[in-house]
Copies of this chain bind each other. A is one copy, B any other.
Amino acid sequence: MQEMSSKEIPVVLTEKLDEQFFQSRTSKRSPIIFRGVDIGSCRLKWNADYLADAIGDHEVKIHVSSQSKLDFVNRNFLYKSISLKEYIRRSSQAPGLPLEEFFIDPHEKYYLRSLGGDVRKEVADVHKQYPEIATDLNLPYVFSADRFFSSVFRIASPGSQLWTHYDVMDNLLIQILGDKEIIMFPPSDLPYLYLQGDKSVILDPDNADLSQFPLFASATKYKSKLLPGDIVYIPALWFHNVKALNFSVAVNMFWKNLEPALYDNKDVYGNKDLVPAARAQQGVDKALKALDNLPAAYKEFFTLKLISRLQASLSGSS
Confirm or deny: A2 has a beta carbon within 8 angstroms of a beta carbon on chain B: no
Q: Are A310 and B303 in contact (CB-based, < 8 A)?
A: yes
Q: What 1/0 mask marks residues of chain A from 217 to 231 whose CB sits below 8 Å from any chain B CB?
A: 000000000000000
Q: Are B307 and A237 in contact (CB-based, < 8 A)?
A: no
Q: What 1/0 mask marks residues of chain A from 287 to 318 whose CB sits below 8 Å from any chain B CB?
A: 11011011111111111111111110110011
Confirm or deny: A188 has a beta carbon within 8 angstroms of a beta carbon on chain B: yes
Contact A297/B187 with A274-B302, A311-B307 known, Cβ cut-off 8 Å: yes
Contact A290/B297 with A302-B273, A304-B190, A314-B304 known, Cβ cut-off 8 Å: no
Most buried by B among A237, A274, A279, A284: A284
Q: Are A258 and B295 in contact (CB-based, < 8 A)?
A: yes
Confirm or deny: A276 has a beta carbon within 8 angstroms of a beta carbon on chain B: yes
- A259–chain B nearest beta-carbon distance, Å: 9
The total of chain A residues at the interface (CB under 8 A) is 49
- A240–chain B nearest beta-carbon distance, Å: 14
Confirm or deny: A280 has a beta carbon within 8 angstroms of a beta carbon on chain B: yes
Confirm or deny: A76 has a beta carbon within 8 angstroms of a beta carbon on chain B: no
Within 8 A of B (CB), among A227-249: 236-237
- A227–chain B nearest beta-carbon distance, Å: 30
Within 8 A of B (CB), among A261-289: 262, 273-274, 276-277, 279-288
Chain B residues with Cβ below 8 Å from A236 are 298
Chain B residues with Cβ below 8 Å from A187 are 297, 300-301, 304
Contact A280/B302 with A29-B297, A274-B294, A288-B310 known, Cβ cut-off 8 Å: yes
Chain B residues with Cβ below 8 Å from A237 are 297-298, 301
Confirm or deny: A191 has a beta carbon within 8 angstroms of a beta carbon on chain B: yes
Complex alpha-carbon distance, A237 and B303, angstroms: 13
* Partner of A283 from B258, B277, B287, B311 at Cβ < 8 Å: B287
Complex alpha-carbon distance, A195 and B304, angstroms: 11
Chain B residues with Cβ below 8 Å from A290 are 276-277, 279-280, 283
Most buried by B among A273, A281, A291, A318: A291
Within 8 A of B (CB), among A158-180: none
Chain B residues with Cβ below 8 Å from A295 are 258
Most buried by B among A237, A283, A291: A283
Residues of chain A having any CB pair with chain B under 8 Å: 29, 187-188, 190-191, 195, 236-237, 258, 262, 273-274, 276-277, 279-288, 290-291, 293-311, 313-314, 317-318
A195-B305, A280-B288, A281-B305 given. 15 additional CB < 8 A pairs?
A187-B300, A187-B304, A188-B301, A188-B304, A258-B295, A276-B294, A277-B290, A277-B294, A277-B302, A280-B306, A283-B290, A299-B317, A303-B313, A303-B314, A307-B307
8 nearest interchain CB pairs? A283-B287, A280-B287, A279-B290, A283-B286, A277-B302, A280-B290, A190-B304, A283-B283
